[in-house]
Structure 1
Amino acid sequence: MPESGFRSRWTARGKPRSATFVALSVGVTLGAIAAITLPASAGPADRTPTAAVAAAIPRYDHVVVVVHENANHEEIIGNTQAPFINQLAAGGASFTDFHGETHPSQPNYLAMFSGGTQGVTGDECPPSGSPYGADNLARQLIDVGATWGSYNEDWQPGNPSACTSGSYARKHNPWLSFGNVPAETTYTTAQFPTDFTRLPTVSYVVPNLCNDMHDRLFNSSCGIRTGDTWTNNKLGAYAAWAKTHNSLLVVTWDEDNFRAENRIATVVYGANVKPGQYAGRKDHYSLLRTFEDMYGTRRSGQAANATPITEIWQDTGPTPVSVTNPGTRTGTVGQAASLQLQVSGGTAPYTCAFQGLPAGLTNPAGGCAVSGTPTAPGSAQVTVTATDGLGAASSPASFTWTIAPTGTGTPPTIASPGNRSTMAGTSVDLTLATTGSPAPTCTATGLPAGLTIGAGCRITGTPTTPATSQVTVTATNASGSASAAFQWTVTAPPTGGVTVADPGAQSSKFNQQVDLTLGVSGGTAPYTCAAKNLPTGLWLNPFTCAITGKAWGVGTFATEVTATDGAGRKGAVTFPWSVTWF
C-alpha cells in the first residue's frame, strides 16, 4: 500500500498549522465513533455556527473521499435510516446548500475529479483505453510530490477497463479513463489499509451500486440504511481515528434524485473542523478547488473559478517544523531508488539537508525527495533536517539505508489458483498472484491445448480438447524461483444439443450502453442467434450472439435468446433484464 509522501502545512493564505488526514466520505462506522461526546441536544438542526469566520485551509496528510449515489439532501440529513452519517453531521460541518453539477451520474464524477465533464452528457461506458488526457486531481497531487489512490468496490484488476462487473460500474470511477493517472494507484476496497498511516495523501473510495444507495429504488436490500451501514463498517474506525489524529473525513454524493436543484448532502468530519450547518452554496468544483488550495497544486477547469471551502476550519495556530522518520530503507546496486520525505508544520516551501546518503543518491535542488541509482553496496546512516520558508529547522531524523549487491533481491512467491474446470470452447483469462523483486516472469508446463501464459503470469486462450492436465506454473527472478501445481480439467461440450450460456439477471440504466455476448456451445458450428423480449433500443447480432445498443425501454423483460446450429438443432436461455431510470 502506498505511503504518503506529503505532510501537513498551511496554504500561503494563512499561518502554518498541523493536520494529518482527510477522509471525504459518504458514510463512516457508527460503532467506531460512539465515544464522540456531543451535547445532549446536538443534532443537525441546532448546530448552526454563530458566525462563519474563515480560517486558512489546512494541509492534511491524508484525504479519503467516499461518494454515494442519487439522494436528495433531505433523504439523508435527519433520516433515521442513516444514523451513522447523521452522527457525523452532528459532530462535523454539514453543508445545507451543496449541489451536484448535472444529471446523470457520470459527468458529476468527471467534474469532481477533473474540473469539467469532458463533454460527457450520459452514462455510456467510456471508450476503451484511457480516452481523456485532461488535468485532474490525481495528476496534480503527484506533480507536487503528494500521493493519490482510489479504492473501488468490485473492480477487477484482471479486467481493469470493464464497463461493469457484478455491481461495479466504471462510470462511477473516472480515474480509470484518464491516461495520465498511473494504473498502480487503483485498488479494490478490500485493499483499503487498516493502518491508516499507509493511506495515500488523497484517496477516493467508491462503493458498488448497492452499497452506494444507487439501486435502492428497485432493490430493497440496497437502501439508505445499507449504504450507511457499509460506510460505518468500512470507514468507522478511520473516522474515530481521524478525530484524534488531526485527520479529516468528508461525506458527499454525486447528484440528487434527478431534481432541477440537484441539492445533495455533504459532511466534513474530523480534527480542526468547526461543527455546525453551513449555508453557503458549494458544489463539486468547490470541493476540488479546496483540495487544490490545500496542497498548493495548479487548478483544473472550472475549479479555477470556484469558491473553496474556508469557513469550517478552526485556527489552531502555528506548529513547529518536523520531518517524519521514514524508517529503515533498502535498495540494490543498479536499481533506481527514490524516497519522498514527509514534512509538516512551519511555513511552506520546505528544503531538506541530507548527510550520509548512499553513493549514487541525491536530493535534487535541495528538496525533500531523494532519487538516483545506488552504485555501491553497504549500509549507510542517513540524517536529514528540514527547513521551512521562514528558516525554522526541524529536529534531525536518522535512519539506515542498506544497499545490497547486484543480483540480490526478494525471491518470488506464487499462489496456486486451485484446481480448475473449464468446458472446451470457453475462453479463459486467469492471472496467478506473484510477489518478488524484481518482478518475476512466469512459465508453465502441462497447460491444456489452446492456453498460453504471458506477462504478469496471465493465462489466456480457449481450451480445445477435453482432458485432465497436471499444470505447473513457475515464477522466476534473479533471486530464485517458486512453483504452483494444480489440476486443470477441460470438459466436453454437451453432446446432441446446443447450449446458450445463461448470463444471469441483467440490469441497465436508461440510455446506458450495453455490450453483452452470450456464449454458445454444443452441436455443430456455425450458430445463428435470435432474441425475443429485448428491452427497447437493444439489438442482437445473429452471427455473434452479441447484444448491443442503448436501453430505452424502462421495465423488466423476460428476454429469451435462441441459438440454432448448422444442423438445425436449437438451444435457448431465458433471463430477466431490468432497465431503470438511474
Structure 2
Amino acid sequence: MRLFLVLAAVAAATAEYVPGKAFDRFITIWLENQDFSAVDKNSDIAGLAKEGILLTEYYGLTHPSQPNYIASVGGDYFGLNNDGFMRIPQNVSTLVDLFDSKNIDWRGYFEALPGPGFMGEGSTAFDGAGWDYVRKHNPFVSYDSVNLNGTRLSKLQSFTEFDSDVKANTLPQYAHLSPDMLNDGHNTSLQYAANWTQSFLTPLLSNEQFMNRTLILLTYDESATYPLPNHIVSLLLGGAVPSNKKGTTDDTIYTHYSILSTLENNWELPNLGRYDVGANVFQVVADQTGYTNHAPSDAASVNNSLSYPGFLNNEPSKYLPIPAPNLKLVGAGGQGVDSSVHNYWNTAENQLTPYDGSGTLYDGGNGVSDPNAPVYKAQAPAPNVTSTASGPSSTHKSGAMRVIVLDIRWLGLGLVAALGFVRL
C-alpha cells in the first residue's frame, strides 16, 4: 500500500548553518568487533593514522554491538546485553533533540538500508547468504522519539544518498555511517573491512569541500575478545585536525559517550542529563575550546565486558526502571539539560539518579561480583564543570525556495511520512 501526496506549495524558507568552535561538520564511521592490538598492526589502518590522530585509550562500553550504538546517541545503554529488537520510550531524549535545539542538520547513512523508515531487523544480501543492513547497527531507530517521527525517520538514509550528498556538497553537519555486514568486518575479516575503509575514505580525504572544517571519527563498536578490557582503535581525521597533530597519538581515556560530550562542547549544546556529562571531550577539540578533561577515577578497574542492570537487560534479576536524568547537570557545552528532557522528567527531580557528571565508568562486573555498578545518588550539579557558555551560537542563514513533497508509504512494519525538499 502506498499513498503519494504532492503539496505544490512553494514557500520561502531559511537553511541554517551553525559554525562550531573547532569543527563545522562531524562524520562518524563505525566498524565491527576488533581488538586494539589486532587493528593497530594493520597496514591500511596505520596508513590512515598518519593522516590523523590515533586515540590509544578509547573503549567500547559493553558487549555485544547494539548497546554501544544506542549509547552513542542516548547517553546510556540502559543495561542492554543483547542485539534483539528494541524500543526505547519517547521520554528518553537523544542527540537528535540536542541538534534540534540549535537547528543543526543531521543524518544517518546505512549501507543497504531498504529505505527511510525501514523497521525490520535486517535486509537480505543479494546472494541470499545473510543480512546487509542490520537494525542493531543503527543507533537511532530503536528510540521512539525518532521512529515515531516521520521527519526524523526520513533522515535515516542509505549510502546511495550519502554519495549524492557528497557530490552535491549538501552533507549535513552531523552524519553517522554504518557500512553493511561485509564492509564493516562483522561477517568478513579485519583486513576486508580495512581495505574497504581505505578505499572509502581515501577519495573523501582529498575532497577539499568535504574536508573543510570536518572532523571524522573512525571507530569500532567493541573489541573481539570479551574477557579483555573493551579496548578499541579509533582515529580522528579530516580538515579539522591541525597539520601538526597528524600522525600523533592521544592517550586520554574516551568511550562512545565522548562523541556526545565533544558535540555538545563544539556547538554549545544542552545535554541529556546522562553519561554524556562528564565524558571526556576529544582533546584536539578541548585544546581549542578551553575545556579541561579529567581521568576517570576508576579507569584501572573497569572491564566494560558485561552490561550493568537496566530496563533493557534480558536477565530478570538485572531489570531496573529507566533512571531519571540528572536535571541539575551542566554539560561540556556549558548548558543545562535539554528542554525535551525537562518536559518529560520535570516531576522526577527528587528521584535518585546514577548520572552525577563525574565521568566515572561503570560496567557489569565479572559475572560474579559487580564493584563497578552504577551508584544512584540525589540529583546535584556535576563536580567537574570546566566550560561556561559564551552566549548563543551564531548561525549563517541563506534564503531558499523549496517545493515540499510528502511521500507517505507503508513499509510493512510501519507507516512513514518522509519530507523531501527540492531547492529552486
**Could you tell me the TM-score, scaled by structure 1's length?**
0.44
Name 2:282's counterpart in structure 1. Answer: 309
Aligned length: 280
Call closer, same or farther: CA 1:177–1:239 in 2, change over 3 Å: same
Instruction: Select 2:231's aligned residue among 252, 263, 268.
Output: 263
Q: Which runs of 5+ in 2 are unaligned?
A: 1-13, 125-131, 147-151, 291-333, 335-389, 413-424
Contact 2:42–2:191, Cα closer than 8 Å, also in 1: no
1:74 corresponds in structure 2 to 37
Distance in structure 2 (CA, Å) of the matches to 1:459 and 1:173: 17
Give the corresponding residue for 1:231: 197
Q: Could you tell me how far apart the structure 2 residues matched to 1:196 and 1:66 are? A: 20
Give how far 1:76 is off. 1.2
Which among 24, 27, 35 is matched to residue 61 of structure 1? 24
Matched-pair contact (CA < 8 Å) for 1:149–1:200: yes
Counterpart position of 1:164: 122
The 3 A distance-change label for structure 1 pair 308 and 390 is closer
User: CA contact under 8 A between 2:104 and 2:173: conserved in structure 1?
Assistant: yes
Structure 1: which amino acid aligns with 2:32?
E
Asked whether 1:178 is paired with 2:143, we answer: yes
The Cα of 1:230 is off from its aligned counterpart by: 2.3
- Residue 220 of structure 2 corresponds to residue 247 of structure 1: no
Distance in 2 (CA, whole Å) between partners of 1:62 and 1:170 is: 25
Secondary structure in structure 2 of the residue aligned to 1:304: coil
- Determine if the alignment matches structure 1 residue 286 to structure 2 residue 286: no
Partner of 2:166: 194
Give the Cα–Cα distance (whole angstroms) in 2 for the partners of residues 299 and 102 of structure 1: 22
Q: In structure 2, which of residues 93, 97, 108 is the aligned counterpart of residue 139 of structure 1?
A: 97
Q: How far 1:286 sits from its partner (Å)?
A: 1.8
Which residue identity lines up with residue 18 of structure 2 in the other structure? R
1:579 is aligned to: none
The unaligned stretches of length 5 or more in structure 1 are 11-57, 216-221, 318-347, 349-388, 403-408, 411-436, 441-454, 461-582
Native 8 Å contact 1:272 1:314 kept in 2: no
Q: Provide closer, same or farther for how the CA distance between residues 209 and 132 of structure 1 changes in structure 2, counting only shifts above 3 A.
A: farther
For residue 54 of structure 2, what is the aligned residue in structure 1?
94
Normalized per residue, which structure has more helix?
2
Matches within 5 A, 1:367-516: 437-439=404-406, 456=409
CA 1:162–1:400 in structure 2 vs 1: closer, same or farther (change >3 Å)? Answer: closer
Q: Which segment drifts farther, 229-238 or 200-209?
A: 229-238
Give the C-alpha shift of residue 132 in structure 1. Answer: 5.1
1:210-249 residue CA offsets vs partner (Å, 9 max, x unmatched): 111112xxxxxx2222212322333332222368523222
Q: Deviations over 1:355-402 (max 9, x none)?
A: xxxxxxxxxxxxxxxxxxxxxxxxxxxxxxxxxx899x99x99x7767
- Give the distance between the partners of 2:34 and 2:185, measured in 1 at CA: 8
Residues 97 and 279 in structure 1, CA contact (< 8 A), matched pair in contact too: yes
- Partners of 2:99 and 2:106 within 8 A in 1: yes
Give the match for residue 20 of structure 2.
9
Q: Is the 8 A contact 2:26 2:175 kept in 1?
A: yes
Q: Tell me how large the CA RMSD over aligned residues is.
A: 3.4
In the aligned structure 2, how far is the partner of 1:112 from the partner of 1:118? 12
- Cα distance, 1:282–1:199 mapped onto 2, change above 3 Å: same
Structure 1 counterpart SS, 2:206: helix
Name the aligned partner's letter for residue 219 of structure 2.
Answer: T
- Which residue does 2:268 correspond to in 1? 296
SS at match of 1:176: coil
2: CA distance between counterparts of 1:459 and 1:102? 32
Which whole-Å deviations, capped at 9, do the CAs of 1:488-533 have from their partners, x for residues lacking one? xxxxxxxxxxxxxxxxxxxxxxxxxxxxxxxxxxxxxxxxxxxxxx
The higher radius of gyration belongs to: 1
C-alpha distance 64-400 of structure 1, shift in aligned 2 (>3 A): closer
User: Are positions 1:125 and 2:91 aligned together?
Assistant: no
Is the aligned partner of 1:108 residue 2:76?
A: no
Q: Measure the CA separation in 1 of the matches of 2:399 and 2:282.
A: 41
Aligned equivalents of 1:459, 1:115: Cα separation in 2: 29
Change (3 A) 1:236 1:132: farther
- C-alpha distance in structure 1 between counterparts of 2:157 and 2:172, whole Å: 11
1-structure distance, mates of 2:108, 2:116: 16
> Distance in 1 between the 2:18 and 2:215 partners?
14
The correspondence of residues 482-561 of structure 1 with structure 2, limited to 5 A, is: none
Partner SS for 1:177: coil
Q: Which has the higher contact order (CA 8 A, sep 6+)?
A: 2
Q: State the AA in 1 paired with 2:16.
A: G
Residues 168 and 208, structure 1, Cα contact 8 Å, conserved in 2? yes
CA distance in structure 1 between the aligned counterparts of 2:238 and 2:73, rounded to whole angstroms: 22
Q: Which has the higher strand share?
A: 1
Cα distance per residue 1:395-414 (max 9 Å; x no partner): x99x7767xxxxxx97xxxx
Tell me, in whole angstroms, the C-alpha distance in 1 between the residues paired with 2:399 and 2:33: 51
What is the match of residue 148 of structure 1? 106
- Asked if the contact 2:266–2:285 (Cα under 8 Å) also holds between the matched residues in 1, the reply is no
Helix, strand or coil at the partner of 2:258? helix
Contact 2:48 2:198 in 1 (8 A): no
CA offset at residue 131 of structure 1?
4.1
Distance 1:200 1:157 in 2: 18
Contact 2:70-2:142 at 8 Å conserved across structures: no
Task: Say whether the 8 Å CA contact 1:4–1:61 is kept in structure 2.
Answer: no
| More divergent stretch after superposition (189-198 vs 238-247) | 238-247
